[in-house]
Amino acid sequence: MDKVIVSPSPHVHSPASTNRIMLDVVIALMPAIIVSILFYGWCEILVLAVSAVACVGLEWLIAQFLMKRPELFNGSSALVTGLLLAMNLPCTTPWWVVVIGAVVAIGIAKMSFGGLGQNIFNPAITARVFLLISFPVYMTNWAMPDGFIGSVDAVSGATPLGLIKEGLKSGSTIPEILSAHGLTASTILRDIGGSSGEISAIALLVGFCYLLIRKVVKPWIPLSILGTIALIAFIFHAIDPAHYTGIGFNLLTGGVLLGALFMATDYVTSPMSNWGGVIFGVGIGLIVMMIRYFGSYPEGMSFAILIMNCFVPLINRAFHQKKYGRA
Amino acid sequence: MTNTIIWTVVILTVLGLVLSLVLFWIARKFKVEEDPRIDEIEKTLPGANCGGCGFAGCRAFADAAVKAGNLDANYCPVGGAEVMKKVAVILGCEVKETAPMVAVVRCNGTCDARPRINTYQGAQSCKVKAALYGGDTGCLFGCLGCGDCVAACQFGALSMDPVTGLPVVDESKCTACGKCVAACPKRIIELRAKGPRGMREFVSCINKDKGPAAKKACSSACIGCGICEKTCQHGAITVADNVAYIDFAKCKLCRECEALCPTGAIHGVGFPKPLDKEAVKKRVADRKAKAAEAAKAAEAAKAAEPVAVPVQPEVKKEENNG
Amino acid sequence: MAKLTFSIGGIHPADSKIARERKIEVLPLPDRVYVSMFQHLGAMAKPVVAVGDTVKAGQIIAEPGGFISAYIHSPVSGTVRSIGPRKDLAGFMQMHIEIEVQGDEWAEGIDLTPELVTSIPEDRDFILDRIKMNGVVGLGGATFPTHVKLNPPPGKVAECLILNGAECEPFLTSDYRILLERTDEIVVGAAIMQKVLGGCRCVIGIEENKPEAIAAVRASVARLGYPSMEVAVLKKRYPQGGEKQLIDAVMHRQVKSGGLPIDVGAVVQNVATSLAVYEAVQKNKPLVTNVLTVTGDVLPAEKQHNYLFRIGVPLSFIAQYAGGVPESAVKMVSGGPMMGKAIANLDATTVKGSSSILYLGEGTARKSESPCIRCGRCADACPMGLEPFLLKSLYKAGDVAALEQNAAQDCIECGCCQYSCPSYIPLLDNIRMAKGQVMAVIRARNAKK
């Protein structure tokens, strides 16, 4: 014992740390990543690798040389952003588009606000939206190359949501569209494609359950998002099944699960209180369904999250913890 | 296509016109009548909004000055006499002359002089540290080194010296706003007169412990020995609570105290030449010897008073000349 | 019966009660003791002895310096050697009386026999006077003078006396040991306090991780036959033993911000205080002894002890007797790991409220801070329902008005926020300062009224 340490209380700390939380998120993403690699093969590995390396590398470069504050570099959080970005992109995305996405995510959405904890918008979503608007062809057309398991027919074209949107615009009904493209309800659910993260609902749910067990996230935001979407889809589908898609279809397509489970629950860009989270989730659900039913984009998860991100500071102001002795 | 362009231009133009009218109307409707001198004074002030004057900002200062109609309660330490003169012209009143001040760090307990006896871990804030315990050195009065003063300074005039672990004042940037004085929980920093050509003497220690205790904690602590007090010919130094203090108004910058201080707690800054301690010590010693001699002679004279009355004034004269 | 717990926040730190099976040992007397004049909440006590005086153990050596203050007794017999400033736990100078120990002779009128006295005096004022004259203060941490707390202001009625045996701080086992070894005395002490408070009911709250203590106290209450006294099993959750949390758990009532427990009809006393009350009233024995745990994660189990010590014994003497400071300790704490005070050395002496010497290892050194990721764990953990992340930034911004609005003054400094922060942000360090600022503003405002 050389020199005693003196510090204010408390003198013990929980085992939690920022890096441990980020590691938990990476672990939770693993089932979905493995499934998408199995389905899409080498090109998926390439997108994941490029995105992860670009995000971590860019964060380091920006913190070190541009901002000259090396302490702002947080590798684990950049890695999570990188993986989420990759899972939001179709596996056919060229590597340079992925790098542009990384620049937007890390450079613009995260570091320009001051780094970890300071950003208003979810970096991965911001990048996805940027790419969606800038390179719509790469982002919405998806080809299914050879995966490591050969159960999927090689199809090429727009996502099911995109097909339905186009079909509805041209005046046909949903059953007509589906039969025209040789899709049935079961093949849709099996072959749902697009971004790699959308491929397996079960893998995403397994990962999310891990996060719940580790108490990294609370279930209120995903529950309220999915609940709102289900409710709206149920009502509209019951009224007019020919023009409005159903509950299962809406919950399982277009990155709703990925968004609700992993993107909307991002600590930095979601409200802190439980009730705030519910408001946030309901808002996202409403906006997604408005875009899907009445907007011009086939899916709306990214936009919905971004729009609700803007309201987070307001929600945080409005919803406070229940205080002791101040009822 | 052309139709769209025309319509866009028309709509935007109309919208712009309507909105500008609304803005114009609002500006008229909600205009607040203010004394124009407030704006004028605010422009004259440095605009740092530091609060050093005791008001919330430069505008609040200007507001208060105009309302009071004089500058008795207002002084901008940042702008100094120059700015205050200009403000006085605007208000048409007099301004008191105040000697320029500067922040002075009254702790010279460097890492070498004041060894660390434990390690502090906690929020890097002197306030937190001061509230927690006596500090990581043996001295209960010295600088805690977490830099609350540096954080409080809006002019970048303070910085922590990594070698000594003490704050350093950059005189050219210090405006004597007093923020650091308020920020220091140990009350180490004091605003002192800058002095003629920036020359000043001060005791760089506020340790109120008794000599041995103070010395044990820090080799350069003021031990309250009183040598400086006895040496000073101008009555500028007082020792209270085991620590010396130099009254700047009385100090004649002779640097004798500095030379004689056994621990080096008295600092002189801004002097053109480095202090020749030996020479000053010799000077003081000579003077003391002479004084002792004179006293002896006086005593002898007193003893022989009835016989040799006329000798006395001569001795006195000699003393005065010395 | 269902396990009781508080309704907001809370954490579950590792229990670490390593010394729980160590029986209480009587610490021998040192050569010299240093009795602090500042062992209680409120005004400093005034010495009534002079240097050179001979004193007996249990003799009054200092009297209260104000309404909220307490008598202090000599813990040993011997000669007063000096009265003057000496460093306290935090290293600040406080007035101490130094006594050289000579023999062990007790003052007149103190019953030192171990027999249980169950017949409680009838006169309420007599009981209160005994508690006051024997210098009893709350031993749960705040050391508030007990006779003041047991004498509610007119108009306030105590409905329930809650005896706090939660001992929710990790490591500490002194309360647990006295619950096991001095059970009957504690129960009689509680009955005395019930009587003083006008015959209210009494709930003895003990955390579920001490089943032996729960059984022992239940058996004692049944044997001694106190119908209005019951044992409540509390969930193991920190800060279960916090006064406000305990009231919430037991009575399902919350004390209003700025209010006192008596406002909701509650009086909370620690089990150690109850023992002190028993000794003061039934045995006329002043509060000069207490039980303290020597423990820590780097201290081998066989070196961990529960000692009955004389108040004023230097910490260094206890540490020495227990086998010295372990090499691997990087931190020494007086009190629990959540709210205890870290000490730079063992020069200070024990005071009435001393509950432990805790040695902590490398793992408890603070880690460097990283940016807030807004996970909200601090807010989830806060048992007062505050938002620590917000309070910290408001403090940094210097916005005292907003701090008051966000209830910084309600902070109980339990440390839950800082414990749970994954970014290792020193939240409580800052909020403690913020609380001080807000309290100063509130006091100034009240003074103006």
Yes or no, beta carbons of B128 and C93 under 8 Å apart = no
* 3-state SS string for C428-439: HHHHHHHHHHHH
Q: Regarding predicted confidence, which is higher, A93 or C218?
A: C218
C222 found inside a domain:
yes
Residue-number span of the structural domain to which C234 is assigned: 1-24+112-365
How far apart CA C242 and CA C414 sit, in angstroms, is: 8
How many CB atoms sit inside 10 A of residue A137's CB? 6
Residue C343 lies in a domain: yes
Q: Are residues C286 and C408 both part of a single domain?
A: no
Taking residues C372-387, report their average pLDDT.
Answer: 93
Asked whether residue C341 is assigned to any structural domain, the reply reads: yes
Model confidence at A199, pLDDT cuts 50, 70, 90, reads low
Residue C102 lies in a domain: no
Residue C98 lies in a domain: no
CA distances from A321 to A225, A313, C10, C253 (A): 22, 15, 13, 18
At residue B244, does pLDDT exceed 70?
yes
User: Rounded to whole angstroms, how far apart are CA atoms C99 and C74?
Assistant: 8
If you average pLDDT over every residue of chain C, what do you get? Answer: 93
Supply the pLDDT for residue B306. 60
Minimal C-alpha gap between B159 and chain C (Å): 20
Sheet holding C72-73, edge to edge: C46-47, C60-63, C72-73
One domain for residues C309 and C410: no
Of the three residues C332, C365, C398, the one that is the final residue of a domain is C365
Summarize pLDDT for A281-303 with one digit per residue, the tens: 999 999 999 998 888 777 788 99
- Chain B residue numbers touching C343 (CB-CB < 8 A): 133
Inter-chain residue contact B125 with C433, CB threshold 8 Å: yes
Chain B nearest-CA distance from C430, in A, is: 7
- Same domain for C395 and C358: no
Quick one: tokens of B44?
Answer: 């004259």
A269-272: long-range contacts (C-beta < 8 A, 24 or more apart)?
A269/A119, A269/A120, A269/A121, A269/A122, A269/A305, A269/A309, A269/A312, A270/A221, A270/A312, A271/A312, A271/A315, A271/A316, A271/A319, A272/A316, A272/C374, A272/C376, A272/C379, A272/C387, A272/C389
pLDDT recorded at residue A142: 58
Regarding whether C279 and C154 lie in a shared domain, the answer is yes
With an 8 Å Cβ cutoff, is B56 touching chain C? no
Question: Who's near B53: CB < 8 A, 6+ residues apart?
Answer: B61, B74, B75, B76, B77, B177
Average pLDDT of chain A is 84
Nearest to C331 among A11, A323, A327 (CB): A11
Mean pLDDT of B286-300: 87
Give yes or no: residues C279 and C387 share one domain. no
Cβ–Cβ below 8 Å for C373 and A116? yes
Is the per-residue pLDDT at C69 higher than 80? yes
Going along chain B from its start, the domains and CATH numbers come out as 36-91 (1.10.15.40), 99-192 (3.30.70.20), 195-289 (3.30.70.20)
- On average, the pLDDT of chain B sits at 85
User: In the prediction, which pLDDT does B317 show?
Assistant: 43
Domain end among C365, C391, C411: C365
Please give, rounded to a whole number of angstroms, the shortest distance from the CA of C380 to a CA of chain B: 22
| Neighboring chain A residues of B138 at a CB cutoff of 8 Å | none
Position A138 confidence tier, pLDDT thresholds 50, 70, 90: confident
- What number is the average pLDDT over the span A211-227? 94
Residues C255 and C402 reside in one and the same domain: no
Residue A81: pLDDT band (50, 70, 90) is: very high
Which of these three, C303, C331, C365, is where a domain ends? C365
Phi then psi for residue C228, to 5 deg, are -95, 20
Q: Does the distance separating the beta carbons of B117 and A6 come in below 8 Å?
A: no
Is C430 in the same domain as C347? no
Nearest to C256 by CA among C240, C244, C267: C244
Predicted pLDDT at B172: 86
Residue C335 placed within a domain: yes
Give chain C's domain count: 2
Domain assignment of residue C63, yes or no: no
C388 and C349 share one domain? no
Q: What are phi and psi of B187, to 5 degrees?
A: 55, 45
pLDDT at C241: 92
Q: How far apart are CA B62 and CA B55, in angstroms?
A: 9
Selected for mutation to probe chain C from B127, B144, B148, B209 (highest C CB count within 10 Å) is: B127
Domain membership of residue C147 (yes or no) is: yes
Which of A216, A215, A296, A228 has its CA nearest to residue A256? Answer: A228
* Residue bearing the bigger pLDDT, C46 or B62: C46
Judgement on whether residues C387 and C326 belong to the same structural domain of the protein: no
Tell me the pLDDT band of B101, cut-offs 50, 70 and 90.
confident
Taking 70 as the threshold, does the pLDDT of residue A160 lie above it?
Answer: no
CA distance B97 to B84: 9
**Is C415–A9 a contact, with Cβ atoms under 8 angstroms apart?**
yes
A142-151, C97-106, C209-218: least confident range = A142-151
Same-domain status, C393 and C348: no
C179 and C295 both lie in a single domain: yes
pLDDT computed for residue B36 by the predictor: 83
Residue A40 pLDDT class (50, 70, 90 cuts): confident
pLDDT computed for residue A154 by the predictor: 42
B121/A4 touch (CB, cutoff 8 Å), yes or no: no
Task: Give CA–CA dist B126/B132, Å, rounded.
Answer: 10
Q: Give the per-residue pLDDT at B30.
A: 84
- Tell me the residues of B at the A interface, defined by beta carbons under 8 Å apart: 116-123, 128, 132-133, 136
Q: What is the CATH number of the domain that holds C213?
A: 3.40.50.11540
pLDDT in tens, C196-229: 998 899 999 999 999 999 999 999 999 999 999 9
Determine the average pLDDT of the residues in C149-163. 92
**pLDDT for residue A213:** 94
pLDDT-derived band of residue B278, with 50, 70 and 90 as boundaries?
confident
pLDDT at position A12 is 94
C340 and C416 inside one domain: no
